[in-house]
Chains A and B, each alone.
Chain A
Amino acid sequence: MVEVEKLREIAREVISRDDVRQLIGYRQGTYGFRARPAFITSPEEVDQLIFSPACVNNLATYLTLEEKLPVPRGQEPDLRKVAVMVKGCDSRALVQQMEEKAYERDRIVVLGIPCTGVVDMDKVEERFPNVLSRGEIALEGDKFILSFDGRREEVPKEELLADKCKRCRYPTPLVYDQLLDQEVARFADDDYSDIVELEKRSAEEKWAYWEEKFSRCIRCYSCRNVCPMCYCEDCVLDRLNPQWMRRSVDLSENTAYHIARAYHLAGRCIQCGECQRVCPVEIPLMELNRKFYKDVEELYDYEPGTDAEAPPLLATFKVDDREDFIL
């Protein structure tokens, strides 16, 4: 686990540099166990920074989310770098963004955090409901230590660990300028057992499953907004001409939305699980994304977010790609 003192020391060093404009990290949330993003612009603010298993957010989102306003005449655009703290999964978002030429590598400073797993806040809240005072979560060995209201609770790691961490292949960041701790060896893998199980069902059963999920969607677009890969300035959902899917919240348009969202992440989704985490109606969005992840890996031997030099999956082809489905 990263020591907070070391983290702050390195962060102070980085934000004091002349060529760094901003540092994006984590700070304690306002209530409960939650952590929230911190946007640090001066060395004095560095003492807010923390890292704990409560730091679930993927901060890579903010790099592309920032609005690029036109610069008034006579002023120079601020071209200084942005520093960002990333876990293993988040670092893959950076790699994938750079693979798509969203920005150049030298525009960012990456502080890599070797991650031993983060909690699933829903599981924490289910276990300890209505904790309003600030609490802390730490990982010791294979137990999460939760301290709040003068209490100290130990929970086995398995019970609170986020599902994405149980399938994490890259706990150590793949790209970094400074690593804040010792590298962590891979401790989990994804066998797609739930996807395979779903694939084996009949068409009617599959549709019954998804119909129930999609009809719940309220089209808040949280999953799109939080996604580090959804950074198109002109999103297909916002288009009016052609209007790919209508604004109405009904099964047809919801299904269309989820097909479009998942398809646009085919060969791009890096399995950070943010979409599913933010979904207010608990649609298992990762089951859609992981279907593509599995197909892409099996068919094209490609893993998104692992090689910034590789061409994007759907912008390339091999002459001997599988075509047994073609008449």
Chain B
Amino acid sequence: MAEKNSDFEPNIVAFLCNWCSYAGADLAGTSRIQYPPNVRVIRVMCSGRVNPLFVMNALQQGADGVLISGCHPGDCHYMQGNYYARRRFMLMRNFLEYLGVEPERVRMSWVSASEGAKWKEVIEEVVNGVKSVGPMNKFQRRQLNW
């Protein structure tokens, strides 16, 4: 599938926590680190804020992949939000895989505010993963093309 879609550029929705990952992505930007431009960032206050239905909804609305990123365990600004998120997305990811959504499409990462370089690696990993499984063609909403 990778060959077939060699010019496929995926749309990836990323939910970043305000305190670590968003600052990490910001650091990557201010440090002028180059990373693939396929990510659309949505800032949330904590990875624990991300409702698992966000993932479902993003995939429905045409995202090819979803990334949730938060602080490292123990570093959460709200003490424990990322621990809750970890449980939720473990289950959500396994479940979507069970339905036939490739696990490459739903990713989670810990990126701290000082890890601009790690952010680049994470994005490259996610984008390559989604590229390898091709466009989402399972349950997105029908798009009207006028």
Contacts and interface: CB of A to CB of B under 8 A. Distances in A.
B109 A207 contact: no
Interface in A268-327: 288, 291-292, 295-296, 299-300, 313-315, 317-319, 321-323, 325-327
B125 to A, nearest CB: 6
B86 A206 contact: no
Contact of B98 (A291, A296, A299, A323): A291
A211 B100 CA distance: 9
B20 interface: no
B100 A203 contact: yes
A160 to B, nearest CB: 30
B100 A295 contact: no
Interface core residue of B83, B96, B109 (most chain A CB under 10 Å): B83
B40 interface: no
Interface residues of A, number: 45
Given A251-B139, A299-B90, A317-B80, A210 B53 contact: no
Given A256-B60, A319-B83, A326-B108, A208 B91 contact: no
A209 interface: yes
Interface stretch (A55-63, A171-179, A259-267): A259-267
A47 to B, nearest CB: 47
B102 interface: yes
A128 interface: no
A252 B140 contact: yes
A100 interface: no
Nearest to A250: B142
A263 B95 CA distance: 8
Nearest to A318: B83
Interface residues of B, number: 41
A255 B142 CA distance: 13
A327 B80 contact: no
B32 interface: no
A199 B110 CA distance: 27
B86 A259 contact: no
B54 to A, nearest CB: 10
Nearest to B48: A317
B99 A207 contact: yes
Interface in B82-96: 83-84, 86-96
Nearest to B72: A326
Contacts of B91: 263, 266-267, 292, 295-296, 299, 314
Given A203-B100, A256-B139, A317-B86, A326 B110 contact: yes
Contact of B87 (A244, A251, A253, A314): A314
Nearest to A324: B90
Contacts of A326: 86, 108-110
Interface string A135-178: 00000000000000000000000000000000000000000000
Contacts of A315: 84
Interface in A174-209: 198-199, 203-209
A205 B99 contact: no
B57 interface: yes
B17 interface: no
B87 A313 contact: yes
A252 B57 contact: no
25 contacts: A199-B98, A203-B100, A203-B133, A205-B100, A206-B99, A207-B101, A207-B138, A208-B100, A253-B141, A255-B60, A255-B99, A256-B139, A263-B52, A263-B95, A266-B95, A291-B95, A295-B90, A296-B91, A318-B83, A321-B86, A323-B73, A323-B90, A325-B93, A326-B86, A327-B108
Given A252-B139, A252-B140, A259-B96, 20 more contacts: A203-B97, A207-B138, A208-B100, A209-B100, A210-B99, A250-B142, A255-B60, A255-B139, A256-B57, A263-B95, A266-B91, A314-B84, A319-B83, A321-B83, A323-B73, A325-B93, A325-B103, A325-B107, A326-B86, A326-B109
